[in-house]
Structure 1
Amino acid sequence: MEPEVFVDILSDSLFLVIKLVAAIVVPGLVIGLIVSVFQAATSINEQTLSFLPKLIITLVALIVGGHWMTQELMDFFKLMVMRIPEIAG
């Protein structure tokens, strides 16, 4: 049981979390930026105008990328199960 194994597992898991979160957050950030520029150009200060498109695009990102995210988590779980002998032995 070497420390490098745990460092590899930690880095792999953190990279997976960053990938999955970025797939959800980045579209919302882009839409938020577009709506903010639109609000600044037209001087509209409505709160729901910025919230509703971000909510909708986040839900769309979850629906479209849900299968990919689930597959990534399953692959990571299979990898961790395969590495059990490496950790225990």
Structure 2
Amino acid sequence: MSLSFALAIGKQAMTVALMIAAPVLIASMVVGLLVSIFQAATQIQEQTLTFVPKVITVIVVFLVLGSWMIKTLIQFIQTMLNNITLIVK
């Protein structure tokens, strides 16, 4: 296995990881920001107020995009398994 091949595998793995994690993280950050603005405007400082909407948002994102995430991960794993002979050499 050459250095460029190993770097390509690493790059592809990082790209897939970011593609899968980004929707959940972005949605959670947006909801957290909106709740923080609401808390600052109303001066409500309840910790569970930030936790519950984020959990609900993460669950909804997984329900909506979960099949796409699984398909992307399966494609990556299939590519790695198909190239295993090149990796082992």
Give the structure-2-normalised TM-score. 0.91
Structure 2 CA distance, aligned partners of 1:88 and 1:25?
35
Structure 2 CA distance, aligned partners of 1:12 and 1:64?
24
Superposed displacement of residue 2, structure 1: 1.0
**What residue number does 2:68 align with?**
68
Structure 1 CA distance, aligned partners of 2:88 and 2:53?
48
**What residue number does 2:82 align with?**
82
**What residue number does 2:17 align with?**
17
Residue-by-residue CA offset, 1:47-72 (whole Å, 9 max, x unaligned):
11111100100111111111001000
**Aligned pair count?**
89
Superposed displacement of residue 83, structure 1: 1.6
Structure 1 CA distance, aligned partners of 2:23 and 2:17?
10
Seq. identity, %: 36
Code of the residue aligned with 1:2 in structure 2: it is S
Give the structure-1-normalised TM-score. 0.91
Unaligned runs of 5+ in 1: none
1:34 partnered with 2:34? yes
3-state SS in 2 of match to 1:44: coil
RMSD: 1.2
Code of the residue aligned with 2:13 in structure 1: it is S
Residue-by-residue CA offset, 1:28-84 (whole Å, 9 max, x unaligned):
110000010011011111111111100100111111111001000110011112222
Structure 2 CA distance, aligned partners of 1:58 and 1:75?
23
Structure 1 CA distance, aligned partners of 2:74 and 2:60?
22
**What residue number does 1:3 align with?**
3
